[in-house]
Structure 1
Amino acid sequence: MTSMLSRAVGTPVARLEGPAKVSGAARYAAEYPQDQLAYGWIVPSPVPRGRLDAVLTDPAAEDVLAVLWHGNAPRLRGSDDAELAVLQSERIAYRGQPLALVVATTLEAARRAAQVLQLEITAEDHDVALRTDHPDHYRPEKVNPDVPADTAEGDVEAALAAAPVTVDVTYTIPALHNNPMEPHATIARWDGDELVLYDSNQHPSGIAEAVGAVFGLTAERVHVITEHVGGGFGSKGTARPNAVLAALAASVIERPVQVALPRQAMFSVVGHRAPTVQRLRIGAGTDGTLTAIDHQTWTQTSRLYEFVESAAVVTRSMYPVPNLRTAHRVVPLDMPTPRWMRAPGEAPGMVALECALDELAAELNADPLDLRIRAADPAHAACLRAGADRFGWSGRDPRPRQRREGDWWIGTGVAGATYPATAMPSTARVRALDGGGYEVAIGAADLGTGARTVLAQIAADELGVPVEQIRIRIGDSTLPAASVAGGSSGSASWGWAVTGACRDLVASKRSEAVFDTTDLVEQQNEKNRHACGAHFAEVRVDAVTGEVRVSRLFGMYDAGRILNPRTARSQFLGAMIMGMGMALHEESVLDPAVGTWVNHDLAEYHIPTHADVEWIDAAWLDTPDHDLNPIGARGIGEIGIVGSPAAILNAVWHATGTRIRHLPARPDKLLE
């Protein structure tokens, strides 16, 4: 029974690891001291398709311990992920693919030797450009996260033909790249026939299983340590080649090896948000009642591994309509494999849906807020109304290009937001410590979201003690297995396991308790719940230069119980700013001739900075959802990016009268 004297949940407790991070005491993956540590440097493919015939090394290279390539690397076992079969084949599948690994006694020596390494390559014609008329496009069976690619309800064509008001628009979103502050990094060490990995990832037990399988080891023989992670946004949700390469090299030279990716490699071997082309057709009555939606999307995958960006899936649940069709088509190209990136599917899908809905509102000469409230379910409508009141929507002139101050056109926009509320199987252990206090152990990963702190708050309330008496152990694959830190499911999943273990400990009066949520989670996830929200934006657009400034950005959310207002606000605002980047800044620019991204660094891949964020805020309804899990939380990490780009783009149209259907909204597009 929770003590009424201790109510940590719901209070803005500061991050427990904050002092260690700001003082430099916190260790990240590449920072663990090792005896005789060697350094590996990846040699990437300079061509997008072809065959590696030979590798010529300099026998006089100083401090080089090994040069591994498919001609001499030890053979690996099979894996479901072909990108983990590093240095195993002569085939080249994309530019930037690891073709060799130079291992040396110093990082500088490894990098220098890699730069002068000679690769004998037979290059072949490549295909890297996504086209909707591509002859190799196909209908996948499933899209991320393992849901049907296509759905159909009612008669969409007949409903569209009969609708008095329709829109038919296409939105294109370029490839986008995860760029967490800490690039992917691994230190690998073999202790006999067991493998130790200090690795930056979002799922320690999952990495242990995946890397173990590659080397023919059970997960129990792979110890993954992930104490601190400098961000991931999905890119660290699965094992990446750096972990396998480090372990492979360590087995060859019989000493620990570090492989830390430079920023440029983050644009090739760790995944990205796939580009999408999305066609939306919406039909409505003259009163704004939606009668039909048809959402068709085209995207790409690599030739190594299929990953399909599920952009149309969000349309299946956002606005109920009697006639609904969604479809995905995918093109295999000589490009790196797309992967998870914050709100995969939902983020790009809601850009097209919410902008198309705004275009429908313009055709109807209707208030886009009222149109959404009419179409939304009660929870979404509540967020829209509450957000509009806080933002100051009332009295807005719906006509575009009506408000100007000096050289600046000013406009406002709105968009809805939704994200699935799920929990995943996890196990937690709680034990009483000698001398007082409790230890909570769970193999979760804290990406910087504040997971440590929130879990300590949950345990403190359940055990009736102050947060200071809770010791949290996470980030280690030898701890009780936890789900991946992704899908906005961390707190709901791990908090449920911690709650159960604490309650069992109190009820049994034992010194230790373990709680596994597997059976309970499977029952709850059948109920198809969502967190929801609404975004409001005000922008200024320079009439002379086309520069866009977001003067106000506000989000209102219903995400269940808010466990820690301080860390929650950080998550909401961070995602909204990431959405701003998606709308106005971020774009991975492809050069088809060479088959790669030309802006593969943070000098040319533009993201929002402090100067771009003028006024931003978030609020929430704080309505616990105890039907989902005992702590009543739904998850908040991703919903802030779902809809915020559309709100900004809709505001740009309201300011200028120009629709930007090909993201990002650069100044040159507004001056055309």
Structure 2
Amino acid sequence: METINQKQQGKALSRLEGALKVTGAAQYAGEYSAPDLLYGHVVNSTIPKGKIQKIYTEEILKLPGIIEIFTHENRPSLAWFNFQYSDMDAPPGSPFRPLHDAEIKYYGQPVALVVAESFEEARFAASVLKIDYEKEAFTTNFTNQLDDARAPKRGFATLLKPLPPKPKGDFDKAFDESPVQVSADDYYHGTEHHNPMEMHATTTMFEGEGKLTIYDKTQGTVNSQLYVANVFGLSFKDVRVIAPYVGGAFGSGLQPQYQLFMSVMAALELKRSVRVTLTRAQMYTFGHRPPTLQQIKVAAEMDGKITALHHKATAETSRFEDYTEVVVNWGNILYPVENTKLDYELVPVDVYSPLDMRAPGGSTGLHPLECALDELAYELKMDPLDLRLKNYAEQDDSENRPFSSKELKECYLQGAEKFGWYNRSPQPRSMRRGNRLVGYGMATGIWESMTLPAKAEATLTKEGKFRVRSAVTDIGTGTLTVMTQIAADALGVGLDEVEFEYGDSKMPFAPIQGGSYTVSTVGSAVVAACQALRKRLLKIAQKANGSLFETASESKVSLTNGHLSLSEKPDVAVSFQELLTVSGKRMIKASKTNIPNPLTLKKYTRAAHSAAFVEVEVDEELGVINVTRALTAVAAGTIVNPKTARSQIVGGMVWGISKALREETITDHRLGRYMNPNLAEYHIPVHADIHDLDVIFVEEKDDIVNPLGSKGLGEIGIVALPPAIANAVFHATGKRIHQLPIHFDMLL
């Protein structure tokens, strides 16, 4: 089929829902109201491990406005999901079951739900509810348990997270015989929490026996529907999940969180609508980027050719699930190395299961890899960029297959030129501005470009407009705007003639929004559905006036001014109203499921690439680090909307700065708890911390990756920034810091 002439894709359009959000008109999960709405507040455990002995509910139930207190002792009987997975994204193991029994698995575990007539009454009652515990010995510091490290368990939900490839060549021999070697076993980053602006909330509307409409903070309406129906033994058609606006998620909404369970449980039991909203502190009681300890060894010949690579990562997981990430696989995809040894292990401790956080595994693994290459370049007295160009991979050596497309070299060259990379003085501590040491650093980024199955529906309405629908959420990335652009082009109509409806589980299936695959996945389904509608309209036109449209093909007709017409003969036309009349229906629909070709998936490595360049200033006396400017050059196929795309990359860069210099959750391992569960002490950048950020999109054509030729942008913006900053700090100060975030005291 010939490609429809594109008019909307490539335009830098502002987000269509932007005005609703900035004016407060957009409703979020915790803002929907209902008659006689009840409010639930969660009570969390104050010990990290043990058993509940007694919950003193009697006196609390006498307080004004208190309706019920749900605990493991009085919760309703549930159709618990008794096999391994409770939702699309659950890791292998036994999914966490709120209020399941008296056992405490981690600090902050939900142990009760107080339901009241008002939020204030529920929160007060929850604050004074007394609970007796039997404490047990615990451990939350995985670095003290490295002897317990083991390979991760595998299962269906981990198919998209491949294990490290088997060793290749003879690493030990190649490393020992290489003239230049770099080795470190102390690369580490601590725990991080997601902290989206919108905290997790669920408002469950009780619609009658077994029927629910649920407004949920989620990255997947269908995923939440799947969870609720299975856990509570409900019919899927009786569970509707809606999430039109999501105030950020970054991975925290990939799995259903416990406020969804609590809200639904209370609504079904009390037969009333119930809202449960988590506090900011409670946002630290589920999911996090796991702290990870990494070791890396890299060796090269004197000309810079890398001969050996060993990368090992050991990460934290819970005792009940094996959360895994792709941490060590990236090196041999980026650089052709004949001798490799890659390892990944987990250490179970008494914490909640970690959860995907923006660029899971990628932002973790590229840190030691790209810092080790920088160190290798200095050992070789070679420019770090030249070293990467020397070891540029024309194909994926880890899988011995070609890339669907790869313009990383242009990212290096265009980024270096615009940033002024070669203006730097290579010697560490050789550049300064007054009392501030100046450093330049760079690093490479990569992120897999996936496309998953999805379905979309396109409709010609009785008003003569086009409506396109998908259950996909928009977590603030501009999905609504981009899908509208894609649909307009696929139909061949103007933007104002298309309405894209989304964020509702009753709409055609879409997977959870994550992994940078939403535009490629849902966009491909939208194209297929819109093209199917064009075909159907043409068939109806042929039925209405076969002599005029008999030989016309779908690609040779236009949909303009309320008519279907021949592109080369616009006067040969039939109105939309006539098409509706001939069809005998009030609206004309077409739906399509887009399923990626499995042969293509196996034949090519599909990835977005980036090159990050950073300038830092370090106060020579105080050690304070400031990122004064940064540039990311990105090759990610077709850029549907340059404005929202740039925002995605800039947002990732800001988070990269945060990861490198600010962000960490502090654990007191004597208490087994996080000590800074708030935005006052969990440090993230503010406006004064962010300066000149620039983005280049390198032209890249990809006819293989998916019908749109697009690659995701959500993760590629963050992965290269932390190592680039660490490398810039070395150039400025001459000190290699292997721990993230880099604190000023490490430089004193």
Instruction: Give the TM-score normalised by structure 2.
Output: 0.87
1:148 to 133, 141, 163: 163
Aligned to 1:116: 128
**Conserved in 2, the CA contact under 8 Å of 1:438 and 1:470?**
yes
1:101 to 102, 113, 120: 113
* 1:185 correspondence with 2:201: yes
2:441 to 400, 404, 413: 413
* 1:627 correspondence with 2:704: yes
Q: Which amino acid aligns with 2:325?
A: E
Aligned to 2:15: 15
Aligned to 1:531: 608
Please give the alpha-carbon distance, in whole angstroms, between the structure 2 residues aligned to 1:150 and 1:75.
44
Q: Which amino acid aligns with 1:439?
A: R
Q: Which amino acid aligns with 2:69?
A: V
Matches within 5 A, 1:473-512: 473-509=501-537, 511-512=588-589
Q: Secondary structure at the match of 1:159?
A: helix
Matches within 5 A, 1:239-388: 239-269=256-286, 271-377=287-393, 379-388=407-416
Matches within 5 A, 1:387-402: 387-402=415-430
Following superposition, the deviation at residue 319 of structure 1 comes to 1.4
Please give the alpha-carbon distance, in whole angstroms, between the structure 1 residues aligned to 2:122 and 2:285.
20
Please give the alpha-carbon distance, in whole angstroms, between the structure 2 residues aligned to 1:601 and 1:331.
27
Aligned to 1:35: 35
**Conserved in 2, the CA contact under 8 Å of 1:37 and 1:258?**
yes
Q: Which amino acid aligns with 1:51?
A: K
Following superposition, the deviation at residue 574 of structure 1 comes to 0.1
CA shift digits 1:611-658 (9 cap, x unpaired)? 111100111113231211111101111100111111111001100011
1:542 to 611, 614, 619: 619
1:220 to 237, 248, 261: 237
Following superposition, the deviation at residue 144 of structure 1 comes to 7.8
Matches within 5 A, 1:659-670: 659-670=736-747
Following superposition, the deviation at residue 149 of structure 1 comes to 4.8
Q: Which amino acid aligns with 1:161?
A: D
Please give the alpha-carbon distance, in whole angstroms, between the structure 2 residues aligned to 1:30 and 1:265.
15
* 1:425 correspondence with 2:453: yes
Q: Secondary structure at the match of 2:20?
A: helix
CA shift digits 1:430-471 (9 cap, x unpaired)? 011222220000110001100010011011111121111111
Aligned to 1:68: 70
1:565 to 622, 639, 642: 642
Supply the RMSD in Å over aligned alpha carbons. Answer: 1.5
Deviates more, 1:547-556 or 1:73-82: 73-82
CA shift digits 1:106-160 (9 cap, x unpaired)? 1111110001101111011111001175332211144684322563111111111
* 1:236 correspondence with 2:253: yes
Larger Cα-atom Rg:
2
Matches within 5 A, 1:197-216: 197-216=214-233
Q: Secondary structure at the match of 2:731?
A: helix
Following superposition, the deviation at residue 250 of structure 1 comes to 1.0
* 1:139 correspondence with 2:167: no
CA shift digits 1:313-366 (9 cap, x unpaired)? 222422121111111111111111100000100011011111111111111111
Q: Secondary structure at the match of 2:630?
A: strand
Q: Secondary structure at the match of 1:293?
A: strand
Q: Secondary structure at the match of 1:639?
A: coil
Q: Which amino acid aligns with 2:103?
A: R
**Conserved in 2, the CA contact under 8 Å of 1:174 and 1:663?**
yes
Unaligned 5+ residue runs, structure 1?
A: none
Please give the alpha-carbon distance, in whole angstroms, between the structure 2 residues aligned to 1:30 and 1:622.
42
Please give the alpha-carbon distance, in whole angstroms, between the structure 1 residues aligned to 2:448 and 2:222.
24
Please give the alpha-carbon distance, in whole angstroms, between the structure 2 residues aligned to 1:585 and 1:349.
19
Following superposition, the deviation at residue 211 of structure 1 comes to 2.0
Judged with a 3 Å threshold, the aligned counterparts in structure 2 of structure 1 residues 316 and 2 are, in CA distance, closer, same or farther, namely: closer
Aligned to 2:495: 467
* 1:161 correspondence with 2:176: yes
Q: Which amino acid aligns with 2:170?
A: D
Please give the alpha-carbon distance, in whole angstroms, between the structure 1 residues aligned to 2:243 and 2:294.
38
* 1:404 correspondence with 2:438: no
**Conserved in 2, the CA contact under 8 Å of 1:144 and 1:308?**
no
Following superposition, the deviation at residue 304 of structure 1 comes to 2.3
Q: Which amino acid aligns with 2:293?
A: V
* 1:52 correspondence with 2:52: yes
* 1:91 correspondence with 2:103: yes
Q: Secondary structure at the match of 2:513?
A: coil
**Conserved in 2, the CA contact under 8 Å of 1:76 and 1:85?**
no
Please give the alpha-carbon distance, in whole angstroms, between the structure 2 residues aligned to 1:72 and 1:624.
59
**Conserved in 1, the CA contact under 8 Å of 2:210 and 2:268?**
no
**Conserved in 2, the CA contact under 8 Å of 1:413 and 1:650?**
yes
Please give the alpha-carbon distance, in whole angstroms, between the structure 2 residues aligned to 1:83 and 1:3.
46
Please give the alpha-carbon distance, in whole angstroms, between the structure 1 residues aligned to 2:451 and 2:244.
23
Q: Which amino acid aligns with 2:179?
A: P
Please give the alpha-carbon distance, in whole angstroms, between the structure 1 residues aligned to 2:201 and 2:387.
47
CA shift digits 1:172-222 (9 cap, x unpaired)? 010111011101110113322122210011111111112211111243331
Please give the alpha-carbon distance, in whole angstroms, between the structure 1 residues aligned to 2:261 and 2:382.
56
Identity of aligned residues (%): 38
Q: Secondary structure at the match of 1:356?
A: helix
1:588 to 661, 665, 669: 665
Q: Which amino acid aligns with 1:34?
A: A
Please give the alpha-carbon distance, in whole angstroms, between the structure 2 residues aligned to 1:241 and 1:124.
24
Aligned to 1:598: 675
Following superposition, the deviation at residue 606 of structure 1 comes to 0.5
How many residue pairs match? The answer is 668
CA shift digits 1:449-495 (9 cap, x unpaired)? 00010011011111121111111110000000012110000000011
Judged with a 3 Å threshold, the aligned counterparts in structure 2 of structure 1 residues 212 and 504 are, in CA distance, closer, same or farther, namely: same
Instruction: Give the TM-score normalised by structure 1.
Output: 0.97
Please give the alpha-carbon distance, in whole angstroms, between the structure 1 residues aligned to 2:241 and 2:374.
47
Q: Which amino acid aligns with 2:371?
A: C
Please give the alpha-carbon distance, in whole angstroms, between the structure 1 residues aligned to 2:228 and 2:13.
36
Please give the alpha-carbon distance, in whole angstroms, between the structure 2 residues aligned to 1:249 and 1:535.
49
Q: Secondary structure at the match of 1:359?
A: helix
Q: Secondary structure at the match of 1:153?
A: coil
Please give the alpha-carbon distance, in whole angstroms, between the structure 2 residues aligned to 1:126 and 1:611.
41
**Conserved in 1, the CA contact under 8 Å of 2:51 and 2:133?**
yes
**Conserved in 2, the CA contact under 8 Å of 1:65 and 1:103?**
yes
Q: Secondary structure at the match of 1:151?
A: coil
